[in-house]
């Protein structure tokens, strides 16, 4: 089996990511994002399964008149993200069906932790109206006050909790 | 350059985003988690290189008239909700080792923990969105609109840009020195 | 020199030069396509009426942003709920999000109409103005009047408006008789629930 290619230098890769973000500013008048696509998809799901719940709902109702999920900028961007990451992994022989985890945690516990972490991030993202891509990166580069506040607090929250979940990673 | 809403642009930007994240090694949860145990600074290096690049690019391209900074959507500030949201998000981040964007990248690379993170995110977003009417009084507080650091500090934009660059480069130096020691 | 090092030096140079470069915003240069804008105006797709705006606000239309352009002197303690104050000379700093719909409001509509042209020139499409400004809002939404001799049809139409008015804390009332059944149609265009035809601006 051929060995997976090593990752790119982080500074160079980061600069590349920054250029992608800059292209978004220039071509689309907006930056990157991820959690917004989750929000749009969740609204779409609720609308499809329980339409009575969405009309007039302060949050779900927001997405009713927007031309459908297929037109949502972030949804399209995240679909591209999935394709791009897939292609990049395949070409570098890094694609692998499996579970990344710390040395002393079982697969089941790892998957459960990933899910719980995801739930917390979902909560945080709705509160903050964004995530690391949409706020820390996009808003950070545009010097948005709230984005910097979010970024600093996200790092602070992660560093604060790290000792408590050491078993997951060390 | 007039911004457009083209779906092709959205999808294309997304592809580039996914490629950049994966090549940077950020689709790999142990790498991200390592940031919070001071063993792997990839997250910090990638994130701040990207931030500085885009910030300098936006500043200078706008100054030269190639793009119009005023036409770029600045994420709005809701200070208190973003502080609370940030802390909760950070907690989730270190527990799952992935964020929404990198979680998608990990899932697309075949990692089931990425998939699990993504599913958890759906649940979290759905539940919180459903509870939004009850949370709304808190979530709309301390709204400052598209407030920027130069506006808030009363300092010219270029000065803040310079400050961020100097701090970031200084932090990179520190990190390199720390890594050489271990 | 390695790539990261070169990038670092480049960033440092650009960063240190930034404070001496002045403002990145520069002057926002718009582009006016006269035929296009004139067509929009002629078709009436440039403005909204007060009642229509009130209904959209009550229905929580997604992305709707009401921009109040009145000066400090013009402010009189009342503003449309949810309106954002914005100085007209800082228009290019508005930063609308791609999904936003902007409705510009001024005292009588002139400034809002001018701001509409300017924002269209900058490329924003989802931009409208309240044609009669706060004067129209006050007359149509906050103090709508039913003509004393209005017929049944007009009364029923007025009930919709009165309900809307009360939602915003207004005071619907009865006005003087007008001898036309109270439901005269205004020249040009339909106005749901309108009782007394009034023209504003243009």
Residue among A61, A62, A73 whose CB faces C98 most closely = A73
Question: Picking from A84-88, A103-107, C51-55, C69-73, which range would have the lowest pLDDT averaged per residue?
Answer: C69-73
Residues in a beta bridge with C173: C145
Residues of A with CB under 8 A from a CB of C: 9, 11-12, 15, 28-30, 56, 58, 61-66, 73
DSSP state of C188: S
Over residues C154-174, the mean pLDDT reads 89
- Put simply, the answer to whether B159 touches C16 (Cβ < 8 Å) is no
| Structural domains of chain C, ranges and CATH numbers in brackets | 34-137 (3.40.250.10), 144-196 (no CATH)
Instruction: Quickly state the pLDDT bin for C186 (edges 50, 70, 90).
Output: very low
CA distance A18 to B84: 27
Question: Picking from A5-14, B121-130, C68-77, which range would have the lowest pLDDT averaged per residue?
Answer: C68-77
Q: B interface mutation test: which of C18, C30, C93, C101 has the most B CBs within 10 A?
A: C18
Question: Picking from A92-101, B90-99, B109-118, C179-188, which range would have the lowest pLDDT averaged per residue?
Answer: C179-188
User: Residue C184: its pLDDT value, please?
Assistant: 45
Structure tokens at A134: 């949409």
Residues in chain A closer than 8 A to C99 (CB atoms): 66
**pLDDT over 60 at C185, yes or no:** no
Where helices occur in chain A by DSSP H, the ranges are 10-28, 35-49, 51-54, 73-91, 107-128, 140-141, 145-161, 166-169
Tens of pLDDT, residue by residue over A14-48, are: 999 999 999 999 999 899 999 999 999 998 888 88
Residue among C3, C60, C99 whose CB faces A9 most closely = C3
Structure tokens at B139: 């979530």
Taking the CA of residue B26 and the nearest CA in chain C, the distance in Å comes to 18
User: Residue C63: its pLDDT value, please?
Assistant: 85
Residues in chain A closer than 8 A to B159 (CB atoms): none
Over residues A109-117, the mean pLDDT reads 96
The CA R_g of chain C, rounded to the nearest whole Å, is: 23
- Put simply, the answer to whether B144 touches A145 (Cβ < 8 Å) is yes
ipTM value, please give it: 0.96
- Put simply, the answer to whether C4 touches A65 (Cβ < 8 Å) is no
Per DSSP, the three-state class of C47 is strand
Residue among B52, B60, B158 whose CB faces C19 most closely = B158
Task: Check if A3 contacts B (Cβ < 8 Å).
Answer: no
Q: C interface mutation test: which of A65, A76, A129 has the most C CBs within 10 A?
A: A65
Over residues C92-114, the mean pLDDT reads 87
Which residues of chain C form beta strands (DSSP E)? 47-48, 64-68, 84-85, 101-105, 127-130, 145-147, 173-175
What is the average pLDDT score of chain C?
83
Q: Is C158 exposed, middle or buried (0-12, 13-18, 19+ CB in 10 A)?
A: buried
Question: Picking from B89-93, C178-182, C183-187, which range would have the lowest pLDDT averaged per residue?
Answer: C183-187
User: Residue A64: its pLDDT value, please?
Assistant: 66
Minimum CA–CA partner of C86 in chain B: B145
User: Residue C28: its pLDDT value, please?
Assistant: 67
Per DSSP, the three-state class of B97 is coil
User: Residue A18: its pLDDT value, please?
Assistant: 97
**pLDDT over 50 at C128, yes or no:** yes
Over residues C130-158, the mean pLDDT reads 90
Task: Check if A50 contacts B (Cβ < 8 Å).
Answer: no
User: Residue C187: its pLDDT value, please?
Assistant: 37
Task: Name the helix (H) or strand (E) containing B103.
Answer: helix B100-108
Instruction: Quickly state the pLDDT bin for C179 (edges 50, 70, 90).
Output: low
DSSP annotation string for A16-63: HHHHHHHHHHHHHSS---SHHHHHHHHHHHHHHH-HHHHTT-TTGGGG
Which is nearest to B146 in space by CA: A144, A123, A69? A144
Residue among B13, B36, B117 whose CB faces A117 most closely = B117
User: Residue A32: its pLDDT value, please?
Assistant: 95
Task: Name the helix (H) or strand (E) containing B145.
Answer: strand B143-145
Question: Picking from B90-99, B158-167, C48-57, C80-89, which range would have the lowest pLDDT averaged per residue?
Answer: C80-89
**pLDDT over 90 at C196, yes or no:** no
Tens of pLDDT, residue by residue over B52-73, are: 999 999 999 999 888 888 878 8
Q: Which residue has the tokens 């792997």?
A: B40
User: Residue A62: its pLDDT value, please?
Assistant: 74
Question: Picking from A120-129, A144-153, C62-71, which range would have the lowest pLDDT averaged per residue?
Answer: C62-71
The CA R_g of chain A, rounded to the nearest whole Å, is: 18
Q: Which carries the bigger pLDDT value, residue B146 or residue A88? A: A88
Which residues of C69-162 form beta strands (DSSP E)? 84-85, 101-105, 127-130, 145-147
Q: Point out the residues of chain B with pLDDT beneath 50.
A: none
Q: C interface mutation test: which of A24, A62, A69 has the most C CBs within 10 A?
A: A62
Cβ pair A77, B15 in contact under 8 A: no
* Percent of chain A topping pLDDT 70: 96
- Put simply, the answer to whether C98 touches A9 (Cβ < 8 Å) is no
Whole-structure pTM value: 0.77
Taking the CA of residue A65 and the nearest CA in chain B, the distance in Å comes to 16
Structure tokens at C53: 């705006």
Cβ pair B84, A146 in contact under 8 A: no
Task: Check if C25 contacts B (Cβ < 8 Å).
Answer: yes
Question: Picking from A3-7, B125-129, C165-169, which range would have the lowest pLDDT averaged per residue?
Answer: A3-7
Minimum CA–CA partner of A28 in chain B: B3
Tens of pLDDT, residue by residue over B150-175, are: 989 999 999 999 999 999 999 999 99
DSSP state of B36: G
Over residues C52-59, the mean pLDDT reads 92
User: Residue A143: its pLDDT value, please?
Assistant: 97
Instruction: Quickly state the pLDDT bin for C194 (edges 50, 70, 90).
Output: very low
Residues of C with CB under 8 A from a CB of A: 3-4, 7-8, 60-63, 97-99
Per DSSP, the three-state class of C168 is coil
**pLDDT over 80 at C105, yes or no:** yes
Question: Which residues 6+ apart lie within 8 Å of B60 measured at CB?
Answer: C14, C18, C21, C24
Residue among B59, B74, B164 whose CB faces C95 most closely = B74
């Amino acid at each position: 089996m051929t060995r997976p290619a090593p990752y790119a230098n982080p500074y160079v890769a980061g600069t590349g990511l920054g250029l992608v973000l800059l292209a978004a500013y220039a071509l689309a008048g907006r930056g990157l994002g991820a959690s917004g696509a989750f929000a749009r998809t969740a609204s779409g799901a609720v609308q499809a399964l329980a339409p009575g719940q969405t009309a007039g709902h302060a949050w779900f109702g927001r997405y009713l008149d927007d031309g459908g999920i297929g037109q949502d900028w972030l949804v399209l961007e995240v679909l591209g993200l999935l394709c791009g990451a897939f292609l990049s992994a395949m070409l570098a022989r890094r694609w692998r069906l499996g579970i990344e985890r710390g040395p002393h945690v079982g697969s089941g516990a790892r998957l459960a932790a990933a899910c719980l972490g995801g739930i917390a991030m979902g909560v945080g993202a709705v509160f903050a109206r964004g995530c690391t891509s949409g706020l820390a990166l996009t808003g950070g580069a545009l010097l948005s006050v709230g984005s910097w506040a979010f970024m600093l607090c996200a790092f602070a929250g992660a560093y604060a909790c790290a000792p408590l979940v050491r078993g997951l990673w060390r | 350059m007039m911004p457009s809403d083209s779906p092709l642009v959205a999808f294309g930007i997304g592809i580039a985003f996914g490629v950049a994240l994966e090549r940077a090694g950020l689709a790999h949860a142990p790498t991200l988690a390592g940031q919070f145990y001071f063993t792997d600074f990839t997250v910090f290096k990638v994130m701040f290189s990207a931030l500085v690049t885009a910030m300098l690019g936006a500043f200078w391209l706008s100054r030269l008239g190639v793009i119009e900074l005023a036409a770029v959507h600045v994420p709005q500030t809701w200070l208190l909700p973003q502080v609370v949201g940030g802390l909760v998000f950070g907690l989730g981040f270190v527990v799952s080792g992935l964020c929404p964007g990198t979680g998608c990248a990990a899932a697309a690379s075949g990692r089931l923990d990425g998939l699990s993170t993504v599913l958890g995110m759906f649940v979290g977003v759905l539940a919180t969105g459903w509870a939004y009417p009850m949370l709304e009084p808190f979530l709309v507080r301390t709204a400052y609109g598209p407030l920027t650091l130069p506006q808030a500090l009363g300092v010219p934009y270029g000065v803040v840009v310079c400050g961020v660059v100097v701090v970031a480069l200084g932090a990179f130096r520190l990190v390199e020195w720390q890594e050489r020691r271990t | 020199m390695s790539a990261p090092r070169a990038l670092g030096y480049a960033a440092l140079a650009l960063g240190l030069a930034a404070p001496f470069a002045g403002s990145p915003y520069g002057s926002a240069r718009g582009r006016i396509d006269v035929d296009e804008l004139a067509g929009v105006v002629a078709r009436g797709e440039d403005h909204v009426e007060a009642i229509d705006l009130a209904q959209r606000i009550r229905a929580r239309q997604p992305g709707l942003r009401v921009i109040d352009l009145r000066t400090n002197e013009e402010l009189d303690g009342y503003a449309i709920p949810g309106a954002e104050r914005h100085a007209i000379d800082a228009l290019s700093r508005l930063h609308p999000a791609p999904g936003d719909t902007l409705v510009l409001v001024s005292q009588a509509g002139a400034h809002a109409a001018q701001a509409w042209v300017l924002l269209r020139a900058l490329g924003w499409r989802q931009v409208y103005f309240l044609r009669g400004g706060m004067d129209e809002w006050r007359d149509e939404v906050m103090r709508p009047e039913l003509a004393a001799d209005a017929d049944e049809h007009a009364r029923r139409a007025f009930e919709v408006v009165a309900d809307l008015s009360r939602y915003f804390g207004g005071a619907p009332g009865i006005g003087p008789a007008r001898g036309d059944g109270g439901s005269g149609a205004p020249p040009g265009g339909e106005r749901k629930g309108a009782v007394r035809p009034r023209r504003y601006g243009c």
